[in-house]
Structure 1
Amino acid sequence: MILVLIVLIIYFAATAIISIVLQKKSKNLEGYYLGQRNLPWPVVMLTFAATWIGASSTLGKSGLAYEIGISAVLPTFATVFAFAVFCLFAGRIQRIGQKYHILSIPDLITKRFGRLPALIASAIIGWTVIGTAGTQMVASSKILQMVMADDWEISYQTALVVTTVIVIAYTTLSGFYGVAYTDTLQGILLIVVIGVALPAAALTKIGGPAQLAASLPKHYFELKFDRSIVSYMVVYLLYFLAGPPYWQRSFAASSSKVASKGAIGGNLIILFYSFAVTIIGVCALVLYPSFPKGVSHEMLIPLLVKESFPPILYALVITSLIAIVMSTIDSYLLLASQTLCTDLLLAVHPGIKPETQLKLSRYSVVVIGLLALLFALRMENILEALVLSMSYFASAIAIPAIAALLSKKAKKLGITMGMMGGFISSVVWKSLLGNPFGIPEVIVGSLMSLGLLIVGSVIDKRETVFLD
């Protein structure tokens, strides 16, 4: 469709203009990785939300709502709870980051406990963020190929290459400035199109909320809590407390108040967006009581818009789906570059000049992006294995990261033992034992991490610097 192409070109042009305009501001490491620590709260809020919102929270949740009703929103309560806890620490993260010129979690660990535990943290974080970037590329390209194949016969490979090249280009040029402000554009687009316009159009199409309630059995409108929600809360809590994208956004805020305010606002957007997507899925059940054969329920949003609404809304939705993907990939590409060129490199070569680090950072975004692209094109099974690194990361890093941020009693031996023990125990519990008794590996790993951190810190009698 020509209209889709026009809207896409306008969107891509806007991201290009943003990256070119902001390129000159990324003159040093703090500019490239943290936007000079001067992001205003609306940008912090929207980049928090846009980073969380992805293909799963949009297409996956709407498909689940089509199947089970409004209970599909329940996992979001776990996210909101976890993010609410993170909001309590966001201001302190910004404050000590600005005071001690800290760029990342490994940088914080270095300043408190030395290079060895920071090197371990960097390796685990690097593995996680590179794997996540690759898996997002795979997911995004499959979505684009499924959505656009009928009109343009675009292959999975073509969609993958086009999306990846655009993200690599603006991330390389402008660093975190480009990521944050394109996230702002993408966040606004998602809220307006998928958060407001599409649910309103769907409700209007079926005759309003009253008609929706009359058209479906009551159980579609009942919240059915499940034991799994507790596991979700633990997993999300640990990941949000130590998630590198969220710490990065707190470090980049212009003040501790802005960091807290932005995190709270991002959390509210996540809650609102999840309800909107759930409404779309339930409305689709009224419009399509029997789903077309061969089409996954996860594809109901593009199907619904293409079949039932004006072409302009279809074009905006397709563009929004692309924005969803790009807002996640760019964040993880930049984090992978930061982990490689500042955290890992500084741990083994502390004398490197900042100017050299900045040059290597730009080059590494390209190299990491192309490597992730190669994996996505040729080695999808590896990416499926790498996605497990997210839970392994939470097991290994969450408790030690919070201890490094808050605890005066945490010691180098405890932090090191906590990270290694959490990582190894979660891998063994999941990969070798298969999660016995249905207990997620992240719970076992985090408990092991906490226990070893306490034991190691009691044993270690050396004095440790506390950043206040």
Structure 2
Amino acid sequence: MNTIDLIVFFIYIGGIALFGGSFFKKNRTSSAYTVGNKDIPSWVVTMSIFATFVSSISYLALPGNAFQSNWNALVFSLSLPIATLIAVKYFVPLYRKINSPSAYTFMEQRFGPWARIYVSICYLLTQLMRIGTILYLLALTLNAITGWDIATIIVFTGLIVVVYSMLGGITAVLWTDAIQGIILIVGALVCIGFMCYNMPEGPMQIFSIAADNDKFGLGSFELDLSKPTFWVVLIYGVFINLQNFGIDQNYVQRYMVLKSDKEAQRSALIGGLIYLPISALFLFIGTALFAYYNSAEVLPDALQDISKADRVFPYFIVNALPSGVTGLMIASIFAAGMSTISTSFNSSATVFLTDYYNKYFKQDASDKQRMKVLYTSSLIISIIGIGIGIAMINVKSALDAWWKLSSIFSGGMLGLFLLGIFTKTKYVKGAIIGMISGVLVILWLTFSETIFGKDSIGASFHTYLTIVFGTIAIFLVGFLVSMLMQPKKQSS
């Protein structure tokens, strides 16, 4: 990176931090910190939902996938209309009616305190791993681009984000998310424009090269559950996106920020659907990179290996783009990571305050005490997240196992919510048996190949189907057990 790129990058980072911190005066109460003051424009919330969905991982992984193979990853995005419509119709009005900052208050109302504790612990565990993973992968990318020390990048990023998210609360998170979402879209368009302009035979050459190499394919349409076919990815996408837009605190908190149910529903729907064309944009970058390095330029030998496809986009950013634009692109990658991390800091602190401190420690706490808890928990969560990110540098195998386990237990959350929303049963034992059954199914599918070998039944299903089968097991077992075992009311 030259001086101009560094100036652009640090102006962006400093500007975001100052802008987020400027909302401090509006962030004097615990309510303002968690759900705002009902004065945030709906377009800001919509862009924040989109920016939360996009991380620096997807910003780099989607071009890498398209460069390496085809547009199979777009099928995941095609599931968004299904998932967001279900969330908008059933989940958003439910949370607005309950009117709690936490998504998990509903679980206690339906199945008791154990359910609320279970899903909130799963959420917090998953968020800690998410923060650490994104910090690490973001630092890894910037290290490859700039040569900066990985641990230093992790600490620097974590501290910058926690400062402005603590000072400005949810208002700062939403506004900075919206700006970061716009920047990453602009950055993607700039890259595409540059490649189109520099193709020897004009922009249409991208399409001809891509068509000759089957780069626009969506994957196989065969009914094979062991491969990431079109149908497997689509079903997986419906369940994952329903988990995101239906029960994830990161999104639910945004539904509570707006004044009316209609505004919340519209923001949830549009915020989700925006990702569909933008993900196609990211995939087109990968396709354009394939055409660009097969006509206009040549990749160095170190990147000729197709397994290193994820490194092509960063290489292009540093070596092909003009000065200043490189700084903007690195800022946009940084933006994608920062928006995801700031959301996790705020939402995790909100869950700790609402689901634990207010309920089990001090129900009559003053607002000053609640603010102290929010600040303290945000800081602690950031320190743990930074620690996880640094630990990943040398101890990835142990943390991979932790991430896998947290994914297993988070997979049980969606089934429990669906059981609570779409059935009328109040039989707690049925819900507990259903949840245990689903987690066992997820464990079996996750570790089947390791324990029983490649020829086992569990190993014959693609890993994408783990959450699908686990969620279905929780719902069906919970419903059937409740129907069969729930004591019948005595007639008078």
Question: Are residues 269 and 158 of structure 1, via their aligned partners in 2, closer, same or farther at CA, if it must alter by over 3 Å?
Answer: same
Q: Deviations over 1:260-309 (max 9, x none)?
A: 21122212321121111111111111221353233432122232233222
Partner of 1:442 in structure 2? 467
Cα distance in 2 for partners of 1:413, 1:43 equals: 42
Shift of 1:335: 2.3
Which structure 2 residues correspond to residues 75-94 of structure 1 after superposition, within 5 A? 75-89=76-90, 91-94=92-95
Cα distance in 1 for partners of 2:14, 2:152 equals: 19
Shift of 1:389: 4.8
Question: Are residues 274 and 390 of structure 1, via their aligned partners in 2, closer, same or farther at CA, if it must alter by over 3 Å?
Answer: farther
- The partner residue of 1:201 within 194, 197, 202 is 194
Which structure 2 residues correspond to residues 169-318 of structure 1 after superposition, within 5 A? 169-194=163-188, 196-206=189-199, 207-216=201-210, 217=212, 219-225=214-220, 226=229, 227-240=231-244, 241-289=246-294, 291-295=299-303, 296-318=308-330
Cα distance in 2 for partners of 1:44, 1:168 equals: 20
Shift of 1:395: 2.7
Question: Are residues 428 and 222 of structure 1, via their aligned partners in 2, closer, same or farther at CA, if it must alter by over 3 Å?
Answer: closer
Q: Which amino acid aligns with 2:286?
A: G
Which structure 2 residues correspond to residues 15-164 of structure 1 after superposition, within 5 A? 15-89=16-90, 91-96=92-97, 100-149=98-147, 154-164=148-158
Secondary structure (helix, strand or coil) at the match of 1:275 reads helix
Q: Is the 8 A contact 1:142 1:156 kept in 2?
A: yes
Cα distance in 2 for partners of 1:282, 1:446 equals: 35
Question: Are residues 396 and 462 of structure 1, via their aligned partners in 2, closer, same or farther at CA, if it must alter by over 3 Å?
Answer: farther
Deviates more, 1:222-231 or 1:367-376: 222-231
Shift of 1:348: 3.0
Q: Which amino acid aligns with 2:377?
A: S
Shift of 1:118: 1.2
Q: Gapped runs of 5+ residues in structure 2?
A: 221-228, 451-457
Cα distance in 2 for partners of 1:392, 1:79 equals: 22
Q: Is the 8 A contact 1:415 1:453 kept in 2?
A: yes
Q: Which amino acid aligns with 1:351?
A: Q
Q: Is the 8 A contact 2:143 2:149 kept in 1?
A: yes
Q: Is the 8 A contact 2:250 2:344 kept in 1?
A: yes
Matched, 1:375 2:380: no
Q: Which amino acid aligns with 1:329?
A: I
Question: Are residues 394 and 239 of structure 1, via their aligned partners in 2, closer, same or farther at CA, if it must alter by over 3 Å?
Answer: farther
TM-score when normalising by structure 1: 0.89
Partner of 2:160 in structure 1? 166
Matched, 1:327 2:327: no
Shift of 1:406: 5.3
Cα distance in 2 for partners of 1:343, 1:293 equals: 53
Which structure 2 residues correspond to residues 358-373 of structure 1 after superposition, within 5 A? 358-373=371-386
Secondary structure (helix, strand or coil) at the match of 1:221 reads coil
Question: Are residues 237 and 322 of structure 1, via their aligned partners in 2, closer, same or farther at CA, if it must alter by over 3 Å?
Answer: closer
Q: Is the 8 A contact 1:69 1:220 kept in 2?
A: yes
Shift of 1:347: 4.4
Q: Deviations over 1:390-444 (max 9, x none)?
A: 6424531113224444544344444444434433432343136654321532123
Question: Are residues 41 and 450 of structure 1, via their aligned partners in 2, closer, same or farther at CA, if it must alter by over 3 Å?
Answer: same
Q: Which amino acid aligns with 2:47?
A: L
Deviates more, 1:42-51 or 1:332-341: 332-341
In proportion to residue count, which structure has more helix? 1
Secondary structure (helix, strand or coil) at the match of 1:176 reads helix
Q: Gapped runs of 5+ residues in structure 1?
A: 464-468
Secondary structure (helix, strand or coil) at the match of 2:214 reads helix
Question: Are residues 218 and 9 of structure 1, via their aligned partners in 2, closer, same or farther at CA, if it must alter by over 3 Å?
Answer: closer
Deviates more, 1:34-43 or 1:308-317: 34-43
Question: Are residues 74 and 16 of structure 1, via their aligned partners in 2, closer, same or farther at CA, if it must alter by over 3 Å?
Answer: same
- The partner residue of 1:387 within 403, 406, 429 is 403
Partner of 1:466 in structure 2? none
Q: Is the 8 A contact 1:70 1:223 kept in 2?
A: yes
Q: Deviations over 1:50-76 (max 9, x none)?
A: 011113322111011112234443332
Question: Are residues 305 and 237 of structure 1, via their aligned partners in 2, closer, same or farther at CA, if it must alter by over 3 Å?
Answer: closer
Aligned-pair identity (%): 22
Shift of 1:160: 1.0
Secondary structure (helix, strand or coil) at the match of 2:68 reads helix
Cα distance in 2 for partners of 1:462, 1:31 equals: 46
Secondary structure (helix, strand or coil) at the match of 2:301 reads coil
Matched, 1:357 2:383: no
Q: Which amino acid aligns with 1:349?
A: F
Partner of 2:348 in structure 1? 336
Q: Deviations over 1:335-380 (max 9, x none)?
A: 2222323213344336251532321111111111111211221243
Q: Which amino acid aligns with 2:374?
A: S
